[in-house]
């Protein structure tokens, strides 16, 4: 049964650093197993260490978006954000809102400029004991809002962008061919690497959902990897090089029918 009452949990997930940026996802779910509720007006509010990261912006609207669900939401915004506080806003444009159950669902992806990787990354939610808090309801000052926050999973780490990665400069001439490709075509991913490393070749749909992953041992110099694309449905995809969570090269790939 879908109701306006219940409790929710929020967390940060999928920390990813690339080209001087750090990306992180905001996710939400119902606290109790087998419970559901409608996501109406939302404000996800958290603090960050501005000595480590700065200048938040919205990189991508995820599942809770009028663009990718039947729910009608206005464009997400960071209205009300301050120097070290992110205020991530999702407003209903119509309807009852996205139905959330006890599985984590992505709301939005926030990007920051990386200021200093030697500093610790501390992301802390504003809870119901702080004003203004993170909330799901009509207004931030409505103490009778139906959905109450229960668990707020913050994030603290001191090595968020420290892993050695293959940079854009180290993966050159990244290409996928033929592109577009038919089902019976032999598709090759090609690139030059300045040094040997172990990475992962990843394919996602256009919304960022991973549909394929293949470990790859990079050789210094030219690399040619066969993409096993025949299990992919017709559509548009993103082919990516991933090293330790860092997306270092991306190419759009179109899969045609038979």
What CATH number is associated with residue 227?
Answer: 2.60.40.10
Residue 162, domain member (yes or no)? no
Q: Which helix (DSSP H) or strand (DSSP E) does residue 109 occupy?
A: strand 105-114
Do 130 and 195 lie in a common domain? Answer: no
pTM listed for this prediction: 0.58
> In this structure, are residues 18 and 247 in contact, taking their beta carbons and an 8 Å threshold?
yes
Q: Is residue 52 a part of any domain in this protein?
A: yes
147 and 191: one domain?
no
pLDDT value at 192 more than 60: yes
Burial 41-80, CB ≥16 within 10 A → b, else e: bbbbbbbbbbebbeebebbbbbbbbbebbebebeebeeee
Last residue of a domain, one of 134, 157, 180: 157
pLDDT at 63: 81
pLDDT digits (tens, 9 = 90+) for 149-179: 667 888 888 777 754 344 444 455 678 888 8
Angle CA 167–168–173, to nearest 5? 130
In a domain, 91, yes or no: yes
Specify whether 131 is located in the same domain as 29. Answer: yes
- List the domain range (segments joined by +) for residue 56: 2-157
pLDDT score recorded for residue 220: 81
**pLDDT above 80 (res 129):** no
Here the CATH number for the domain that contains residue 84 is 2.60.40.680
Chain centroid, CA 65 distance in Å: 13
Residues 248, 128 within the same domain: no
Residue 236 lies in a domain: yes
Task: Give a yes or no: residue 164 inside a domain.
Answer: no
Residue 82 DSSP label:
B
pLDDT digits (tens, 9 = 90+) for 25-72: 999 988 888 888 778 888 899 999 998 899 999 999 888 876 555 556
Strand arrangement, sheet containing 210-217? 210-217, 198-205, 235-243, 246-255
In this structure, the answer to whether residues 198 and 237 fall within a common structural domain is yes
pLDDT at 230: 81
CA atoms lying within 13 Å on the CB side of residue 225 = 26
Mapped onto helix, strand or coil, the DSSP state of residue 248 is strand
Boundary of a domain, candidates 109, 126, 157 = 157
Same domain, 117 and 53: yes
Q: Please identify, among 127, 157, 187, the residue that sits at the C-terminal boundary of a domain.
A: 157
Within a domain: 223: yes
Name the residue with higher pLDDT: 6 or 84: 84
Please, is 177 exposed, middle or buried when counting C-beta atoms within 10 Å of its C-beta (0-12, 13-18, 19+)?
middle
- Whether residue 94 sits in one domain with residue 30: yes
Asked if 141 and 250 sit in the same domain, the reply is: no
Q: Total structural domains in the chain?
A: 2
Which residue in 8, 12, 5, 13 sits closest to 30, CA to CA? 8
Same domain, 35 and 124: yes
> In degrees rounded to 5, what are phi and psi of residue 101?
-115, -155
Question: Do 38 and 121 fall within a single domain?
Answer: yes
Tokens (6 digits) for 198 = 């172990």
User: Kind and range of the H or E element at 243?
Assistant: strand 235-243
Question: Are residues 57 and 146 part of one domain?
Answer: yes
pLDDT at 142: 37
54 assigned to some structural domain: yes
CB-based contacts of 246, cutoff 8 Å, min separation 6: 16, 17, 18, 163, 165, 166
Average pLDDT, the chain: 79
Write out pLDDT tens, residues 64-122.
876 555 556 888 999 999 889 999 999 888 777 778 888 998 999 999 988 877 788 89
Residue 96 lies in a domain: yes
Residue 99 shares a structural domain with residue 52: yes
């Amino acid at each position: 049964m879908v109701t306006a009452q219940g409790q929710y949990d929020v967390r940060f997930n999928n920390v990813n650093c690339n080209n001087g940026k750090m990306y992180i996802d905001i996710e939400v779910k119902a606290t109790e197993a087998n419970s559901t509720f409608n996501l109406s007006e939302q404000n996800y509010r958290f603090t960050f260490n501005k000595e480590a990261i700065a200048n938040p912006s919205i990189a991508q609207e995820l599942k809770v978006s009028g663009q990718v669900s039947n729910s009608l939401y206005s464009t997400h915004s960071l209205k009300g954000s301050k120097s070290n506080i992110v205020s991530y806003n999702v407003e209903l444009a119509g309807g009852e809102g996205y139905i959330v159950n006890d599985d984590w669902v992505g709301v939005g992806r926030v990007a920051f400029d990386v200021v200093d990787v030697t500093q610790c990354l501390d992301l802390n939610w504003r809870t119901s004991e702080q004003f203004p808090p993170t909330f799901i309801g009509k207004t931030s000052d409505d103490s009778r809002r139906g959905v109450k926050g229960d668990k707020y999973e913050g994030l603290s780490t001191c090595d968020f962008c420290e892993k050695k990665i293959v940079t854009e400069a180290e993966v050159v001439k990244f290409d996928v061919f033929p592109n577009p490709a038919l089902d019976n075509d032999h598709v090759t991913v090609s690139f030059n690497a300045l040094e040997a490393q172990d990475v992962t070749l990843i394919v996602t749909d256009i919304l960022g959902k991973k549909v394929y992953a293949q470990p790859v041992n990079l050789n210094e110099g030219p690399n040619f990897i066969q993409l096993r694309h025949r299990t992919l449905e017709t559509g548009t995809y993103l082919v990516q090089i991933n090293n330790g969570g860092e997306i270092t090269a991306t190419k759009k790939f179109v899969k045609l029918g038979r």
